[in-house]
Amino acid sequence: MYPITRLRRLRQTAELRDMIRETHLHIEDFVYPMFVCPGKNIKEEIVSMPGQYRYSVDNLVEVCSQLYNKGLKSVMLFGIPEYKDETGSASMHDHGIVQIALNELKARVPGLVTIADVCLCEYTSHGHCGAIVDGDVHNDQTELLAKQAVSFANAGAGMIAPSDMMDGRIAALRNALDTQGYTNLPIMAYSAKFASAFYGPFREAADSAPKFGDRKTYQMDVANAREALREIEQDVLEGADIVMVKPAMAFLDIVSQARQQFSLPIAAYNVSGEYAMVKAAAANGWIDGQRVMTETLLSIKRAGADIILTYFVPDIIDELGKVSHK
């Protein structure tokens, strides 16, 4: 007890604080979500996500090469298609925008782990994540997602990440991939994906807002923790290799509980709205943006995430580089 015990003793210098720090960020912790679009020499800033862009394949490959040379190990790709239809067919053929990007990255940056988001919302005219039957999102028609996943695998994806939140889709995709010989291709499941208001900027970036209704019948109620663990357990049983909680900041309790209950890797997605809030407040001088970014990412890691998907990747890589060169 005080005064024998003085917890401030080990906070007296930066060197002491570094010595006893419990949680550390490493470049290997991060996955960078990126948006790829048709065309050439395109770098179009996303207004609600300062510092983030829609890239044509040539520019995307160049940025990925630069980040890989700084230590980044993995990117997640979201496609902006040339056209949309009811079934999202632009996402399922060899000349889809993500497929082209995957092929180019495999050739130009072969050590980079490429993760392909599997979902229909960016590619469909209705903006929902699954097939529409009688005016509603049909859960069991997973063959469209399976076709998309196999197409991404054919193009060289190092991992697929289904984000649709349909029941049973992990088993369906695992079966489709295994049938085509992709038994070693990992699946990172968006297992506890909440129907959150934090996705707003992403929907601008990917032009993926639903044209009718909302996603509350398939994405999770933001109030439910026990159900989130049931969703994660179901995906584990169906064959997921990594499970994800999305969003991250408002759901750190879910990350922590998942870490305690499951032994496989846990990912957390620091989503567009979380990123945009920090950038907007920093631009107005209300917060120290770099420090808030670092605290945010540390909190996700401290809660138990092994993998952090975040738009802060270029900033945190530079920040970690400064620390390593002290």
Catalytic residue from among 84, 147, 246, 279: 246
Q: Report yes or no: 265 and 306 within 8 Å, Cβ to Cβ.
A: yes
Please state the length of the chain.
326
> In this structure, what DSSP letter does residue 221 have?
P
Q: What residues contact 210, with CB distance under 8 A and at least 6 apart?
A: 121, 126, 127, 128
C-alpha span between 242 and 266 (Å, rounded): 6
Burial track 184-204 (b if 16+ CB lie within 10 A, e otherwise): ebbbbbbbbbbebebbebbbb
Active site residue 193: yes
> Would you tell me how many other CB atoms lie within 10 Å of the CB of residue 70?
13
Matching residue, tokens 């620390």: 323
> In this structure, what DSSP letter does residue 129 have?
S
Q: Report yes or no: 320 and 37 within 8 Å, Cβ to Cβ.
A: no
C-alpha span between 54 and 45 (Å, rounded): 6
Task: Verify cis geometry, omega within 30 degrees of 0, for the bond prior to 186.
Answer: no
Q: How many helices (H) and strands (E) does the chain have?
A: 11, 12
Sign of CA dihedral 36, 39, 41, 43: negative
Sign of CA dihedral 285, 290, 295, 297: positive
What is the SS3 assignment for 131? coil
Of the candidates 19, 39, 34, the residue with the CA atom closest to the CA atom of residue 112:
34
> Would you tell me how many other CB atoms lie within 10 Å of the CB of residue 131?
22
Catalytic residue from among 193, 211, 279, 326: 193
Residues identified as active-site: 193, 246
